[in-house]
Structure 1
Amino acid sequence: MTDAYRSPEAKTFTDALQQKVDALNKDFRKADVELIKHELKLNAPLYKKRADIVSSVQDFWFQALINCMATNVYIDDADHEALSYLYNVEVDRDIEDPRAATITFSFRENPYFSNEKLVKKFSLVDGAKSLEDEFNFLEETKPEKTQIDWKSDDKNLSKLKPTIGGPDSDDFEPGSFFSTFFENTDQEVAGGIGHALIMDFWPGAIDFYTGADDLEFDEDDFDSEDEEDEEDDDEDDGEIDLEDEPPKKRVKA
């Protein structure tokens, strides 16, 4: 089969059309930026109101962090007591340029560190794309190290539970949340946690606390699974497939 012939006129038309499509896509991206700015402006007073409401709820932010799977996997059991002193979390993004962000964790006086606030900043890397271009948070922001003033070595969770290896290594161990997030400058690890906090945890904190984000099961699906289990049991109660991975348990606080 011979290739379809394209006349010079058709090529000129296609090139002109592509230029119009590219210009339209750029206008869409500009509109998206304006929508984000407008959303941030509208939500700011609502987040302040939320902070006032949940301030009387004991362990609200700690429990929300534990219930959020994106953060839970980076929280060691040794972190629980220190995080129980957490009384507020804030995410700040510049309305004029919402790409960069600052996340502030506020703590009551505690035996672990003297900081009242642990601030994690995500600043733009040199040469970051313009505001209207497609933006990749992990690639185009850099996590800055947070200085933690530990009160003693036996309370220094970052030393007691250090982060081992990188995310792509076979021996990667997150260690303490304080080591993996606050004191870490790796774009993929600390950046990934930061992105989850900004985009998922922060807007959905109440749902994470109450567990409203849990998967809802359809009763019919549940019944069919029970019936399949009963049929499998009838076929062979003693046969075990050693190649199947055991189901992963969900961590509870």
Structure 2
Amino acid sequence: MATTAKQAKTEEKNGAENADEQADKEQQEAIEQIDEVQNEIDRLNEQASEEILKVEQKYNKLRQPFFQKRSDLIAKIPNFWVTAFVNHPQVSALLNEEDEEALQFLTKVEVQEFEDIKSGYKINFYFDQNQYFSNDVISKEFHLNDTGEPSSKSTPINWLDGKDLTKKANSPAKGGRKRSPEEQESFFCWFSDHGDAGADELGEVIKDDIWPNPLQYYLASEIDEEGGVGPGGDDELDDLDEEEEGEDFEGEDDEGEEDVEGEDDEDGEEEG
């Protein structure tokens, strides 16, 4: 009996091992098949990317006449671009007062995507004659090489004597005091900043947010005024609510005081 029981246990063990081996084999086969399917998916994704790029290239060319027409119309509106920048929440945070004064002379902004689109783009800033620099155009370019490594380069700004806003931003404040937020780094420092071209937020904001529809930011302040709520409008509404609540409390206090006075008068008469 003992021998029979031992033999049964051995067969049971061997059966379990064979089942585990079979399960492992099936799992490995499934992994290999998933890998093959994933390769097909990746191949289709690459094909889709190539076709999407061709469509983007086609429509990028079709958009150019409309961009030009829009620029011609924008040129008729004084301070269009500086207003759009000031109304944009991210860009406005980078502007100090002197930047805004210099950008009053900005007449045209232009984003040029390279013909193949994927290798980069260029942003051109066109200026009227001004007291800050002699450049008619200041540009910054962003490139991706064949390995996908980003880089950037820009036009040197020819500052006039004593007008270099980037030096003013980097110089210590008078009297050795700390610089206030109003004396922050100049917007124009961005042109010479090539430290991390792959994470240039300002370039991406101008290309992907402002350039497609700058009119919405030019009109932003007017929309706020028409809506009756300007910058910080919610705070203003909260203040009004608090004032009304305060008036209610004051009214209640006055009524309470009148009641108390009335009671005192009645008590006095009764005592008399």
User: How much does 1:174 deviate?
Assistant: 5.3
**Contact conserved, 2:118 with 2:144, CA < 8 A, in 1?**
no
Cα deviation, residue 189, structure 1: 9.3
The corresponding residue for 1:137 is none
Q: Could you say what secondary structure the match of 2:200 adopts?
A: helix
Q: Quick one: structure 1 residues 70 and 188, their matched pair in 2 at CA, closer, same or farther if it must change by over 3 Å? A: farther
Kindly report structure 1 stretches of 4+ aligned residues shifted beyond 6 Å.
212-215
Q: Which residue, 204, 213, 221 being the options, matches 1:204? A: 213
What are the superposed Cα offsets for residues 22-42 of structure 1, whole Å, 9 maximum, x if unpaired? Answer: 112222222332232123112
1:72 maps to which residue?
Answer: 92
Aligned to 2:262: none
Say yes or no: does 1:111 pair with 2:120. Answer: no
Distance 1:18 1:151, change over 3 A: same
Matches within 5 A, 1:206-245: 206-211=215-220
Deviations 1:93-147 (A, max 9, x none): 122234311111010000110111111111225621xxxxxxxxxxx43221431
Q: Which residue of 2 aligns with 1:97?
A: 117
Q: 1:155-191 CA deviation, whole Å, 9 max, x = no partner?
A: 1101111399xxxxxxx99511111x11221226982
Distance 1:76-1:188 versus aligned 2 partners, 3 A rule:
farther
Determine the structure 1 residue equivalent to 2:143: 123
Distance of 1:186 and 1:152 partners within structure 2? 27
| Structure 1 position 52 matched with structure 2 position 75 | no
Bigger helix fraction: 2
Q: TM-score, normalised by structure 1?
A: 0.70
**Corresponding residue to 2:164 among 156, 168, 171:** 156
SS in 1 for 2:138: strand
Note the aligned Cα RMSD (angstroms): 3.6
| Matches of 2:113 and 2:223, distance apart in 1 | 28
Normalising by structure 2, report the TM-score: 0.65
Quick check: 2:150–2:198 contact (8 Å CA) kept in 1?
no
* Count of residue correspondences: 207
CA distance in 2, matches of 1:31, 1:212: 40
> Which structure ranks higher in relative contact order (CA pairs < 8 Å, sequence separation ≥ 6)?
1
Q: Which runs of 5+ in 2 are unaligned?
A: 1-19, 173-180, 228-233, 250-272
Q: Percent identity?
A: 29
- The answer to whether 1:146 aligns with 2:155 is yes
Kept in 2, the 8 Å contact 1:37–1:98? The answer is no
CA contact (8 A) 2:152 2:197 kept: no
Q: Which residue of 1 aligns with 2:185?
A: 175
Describe the SS at the equivalent of 1:84.
helix
Contact conserved, 1:61 with 1:86, CA < 8 A, in 2? yes
Aligned residue for 2:205, secondary structure, equals helix
Query: Which of the two has higher C-alpha Rg?
Result: 2
Aligned ranges for residues 187-202 of structure 1 at < 5 Å? Answer: 187=196, 191-202=200-211
How far residue 15 of structure 1 moved from its aligned partner, in angstroms, is: 2.0
Q: Which runs of 5+ in 1 are unaligned?
A: 129-139, 165-171, 238-253
C-alpha spacing 1:213/1:200, structure 2 compared with 1 (3 Å): farther
In structure 1, the residue matched to 2:256 is: none
1:163 and 1:175 in contact (8 A); partners too: no
**Any conservation in 2 of the 1:87–1:106 contact (CA below 8 Å)?**
yes
